[in-house]
């Protein structure tokens, strides 16, 4: 029995290492899909159509303008998720246990050894792997091998954890990917239908195959990202992470649900100009503590209750 447990732990470790190794391949895969799509839309179909004259030129101009605009936003959001640290626990972070003690001072060191062993206190969360206290909504990621603030999930497509500091960028990546792949699907649809018509279609076998592949890939991405986007819209409006959505199945009331508007602002900020950009205004960063990933306001009637 003991031996099988050890083997299982080893397998899980191998799995996590494999996921980490998958990293650069996934980035290349994303860039590969972008490359195939760019070749099909810009170089093969709508670039040459610019010179057709009349309405065709106008349509090609509109498609190319939207395509490039969305592509810039998509890649900007994508690399923001990939390169932004989702949020780690500051060294020596200590929970403030003021309610039980009736004072606002953080506990002193000697109290902590007692608290660590006090498993009956659900307000104190401790990570045995990292050997540190966990702030509220923080979870340990076995792929990253560390605790991540307001961890949502570990995403293989962005080779990073999605957490407090890059969740908005991840949502924008989904949003722009959905718009871009829908645009590509619609703009390549006439060319795709032409494959099944009897008439001659212009182009070499290579360009025709790329157009076919780009259409199928973009349709598949548009459909799957749409489902994912709908799921995350409902998570944001309820102020829940993917992990918490699994955990809180049995609790109808959720302490962090402050109403749709406030829940949205905790992820996207209050500055409308920044809603569609992977970043925050300096004022929002100062004003909204949730954007730092350590403190989250909860409903007033929950303040006196346990986690
Ligand atoms: Zn941890
Ligand atoms: Zn992770």
User: Is residue 199 assigned to a domain?
Assistant: yes
Q: Residue 14: its pLDDT value, please?
A: 54
pTM for this one?
0.84
Whole-Å CA distances, 46 to 42, 105, 184, 196, 242: 5, 65, 11, 20, 39
In a domain, 39, yes or no: yes
What's the pLDDT at 288?
Answer: 86
Residues 276 and 169: their CA atoms lie apart, in Å, by 9
Residue 149 located in a structural domain: no
Residue 299 domain-assigned?
yes
> What is residue 149's predicted lDDT score, i.e. its pLDDT?
94
Ligand 2 centroid distance, CA of 145 (Å)? 7
Asked if residue 233 is part of any domain, the answer here is yes
241: domain range? 1-87+157-307
Query: Is 147 a member of any domain?
Result: no
Count up the domains in the chain and report the number.
1
Q: Report the relative pairing of strands 132-133 and 126-127 from DSSP bridges.
A: antiparallel
Query: What stretches in the chain show pLDDT beneath 70?
Result: 1-23, 97-123, 249-252, 301-307
Active site residue 138: no
The number of the ligand nearest the C-alpha atom of 138 reads: 1
Q: State residue 17's pLDDT score.
A: 58
Q: How far is the CA of 148 from the centre of ligand 1 (A)?
A: 7
Q: 196, 120 in Cβ contact below 8 A?
A: no
Output the CA 243–ligand 2 centroid distance in Å: 12
| Residue 19, domain member (yes or no) | yes
Q: Is 25 within a domain? A: yes
């Amino acid at each position: 029995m003991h031996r099988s447990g050890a083997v299982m732990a080893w397998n899980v470790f191998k799995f996590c290492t494999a996921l980490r190794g998958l990293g650069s391949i996934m980035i290349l895969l994303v860039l590969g899909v972008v490359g195939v799509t760019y070749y099909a839309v810009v170089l093969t179909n709508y670039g040459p159509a610019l010179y057709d004259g009349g309405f065709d030129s106008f349509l090609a101009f509109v498609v190319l303008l939207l395509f490039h605009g969305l592509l810039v936003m998509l890649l900007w959001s994508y690399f923001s998720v990939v390169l932004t640290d989702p949020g780690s626990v500051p060294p020596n972070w200590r929970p403030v246990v003021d309610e039980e003690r009736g004072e606002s001072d953080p506990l002193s060191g000697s109290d902590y050894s007692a608290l660590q062993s006090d498993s009956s206190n659900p307000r104190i969360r401790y990570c045995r792997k990292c050997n540190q206290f966990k702030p509220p909504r923080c979870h340990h990621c076995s792929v990253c091998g560390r605790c991540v603030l307001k961890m949502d999930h570990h995403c293989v497509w962005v080779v990073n954890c999605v957490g407090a500091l890059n969740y908005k960028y991840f949502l924008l990546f989904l949003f722009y990917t959905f718009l871009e792949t829908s645009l590509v699907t619609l703009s390549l649809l006439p060319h795709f239908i032409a494959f099944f018509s009897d008439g001659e279609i212009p182009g070499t076998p290579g360009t025709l195959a790329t157009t076919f592949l780009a259409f199928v890939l973009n349709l598949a991405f548009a459909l799957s990202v749409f489902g994912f986007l709908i799921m995350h819209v409902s998570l944001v409006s309820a102020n829940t992470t993917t992990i918490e959505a699994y955990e809180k199945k049995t609790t109808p009331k959720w302490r962090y649900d402050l109403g749709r508007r406030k829940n949205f602002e905790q992820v996207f900020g209050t500055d409308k100009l920044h809603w569609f950009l992977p970043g925050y205004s300096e004022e929002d960063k100062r004003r909204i503590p949730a954007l730092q990933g350590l403190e989250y306001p909860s409903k007033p009637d929950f303040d006196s209750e346990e986690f």
